[in-house]
Structure 1
Amino acid sequence: MEYKHTGDRVYIRLDKGDEVLESIRQICADEDIKFASFQGIGACDKVVVATYIPAKQDFLLHEQKGMLEMVSLQGNIVTEDYGSLQEHAHGMFSYLHPATGELAYLGGHLHSARISYTAEILLDVVQDGFCGHKVDPFTGIKVWKFA
């Protein structure tokens, strides 16, 4: 992993074996970034995405291995009241279905993604402000809390 911090942006190149969300959290910790959004593209060899099941208030995990194109990565990272960084990301991946050889897609809440070749990620840093989470009383999920 290498990155360049210029103004309100961080340009990130991830390399084979790097984990996407772990790398973003590490850069934010190293650069003292408290609140940012990110987007990216790349290639992965293992991803886990999730679908939220409201009735269970839990996620159903979906794992895929092989050659996966990271068609789209979008997310944000905030600092919780107790100081830890928390990301929220969604990803869309394309791959060739192992049984049919046809193009298939996998997308959802990103749990993890390991880079197989490279990824290019743009981190937009919010300099003036702070954002954390609070629990929404109507849905029971964490939502942005502005300070």
Structure 2
Amino acid sequence: METKRTANCLVIRLDPGEELINSLLTACQEHDIHCAQITGIGAAKKITCGVFDPKTREYHSEKFKGIFEITSLNGTITTMDGGLYPHIHVTFADEKYKVRGGHLNKCVISATAEIVLMILDLEIDRQASQEVGLNLFRF
């Protein structure tokens, strides 16, 4: 992983074999980032993502292995219970151009990933919502 920072932006390049979420958390810790907006693209060989069922309040996850283009990576970094809280969604296409997506749980890079964090000069924490069943922004 390599990074380059300005006052309100961190650009991250991930290399083959790196796990995206762990690398992102490491970069945020190294640069003392607690709140940011995430965008990115790249290539992956293993992706675990899921969808939330609001009726059952459960995530349903699926693991994918193969050749994937990350066509869109979007999300936020906030905090919860004193730690960093990444909330990232992904859209990715396989070698036959079949597109899938959902809440990103894990992503191992195959070639590279280019991620941009817009650093927000805010403190946004999260709190579990009993009504919704998710950890929501707490302002």
Quickly name the TM-score band, shorter chain normalised: over 0.9
The 4+ residue runs of structure 1 with deviation greater than 6 A are none
CA RMSD of the aligned region, Å? 1.1
* 2:66 paired residue number: 66
Larger-Rg structure: 1
Distance 1:145 1:26, change over 3 A: same
Q: Give the match's secondary structure for 1:28.
A: helix
* 2:76 paired residue number: 76
Deviations 1:75-102 (A, max 9, x none): 111122x321111000000003xxxxx4
Identity over aligned residues, as a percent? Answer: 34
| Deviation for aligned residue 1:137 | 4.3
* 2:99 paired residue number: 105
Deviations 1:52-87 (A, max 9, x none): 12232211111111110000000111122x321111
* 1:99 paired residue number: none
**Is the 2:54–2:133 Cα contact (8 Å) retained in structure 1?**
no
* 2:110 paired residue number: 116
**Is the 2:91–2:100 Cα contact (8 Å) retained in structure 1?**
yes
Figure out how many residues of one structure are paired with residues of the other and give that number. Answer: 139
Please report the TM-score for the alignment, with normalisation by the length of structure 2: 0.95
Amino acid of the residue matched to residue 124 of structure 2?
A: C
* 1:17 paired residue number: 17
- Structure-1 separation of matches of 2:90 and 2:39: 9
- Structure-2 separation of matches of 1:103 and 1:123: 27
- Structure-1 separation of matches of 2:107 and 2:57: 23
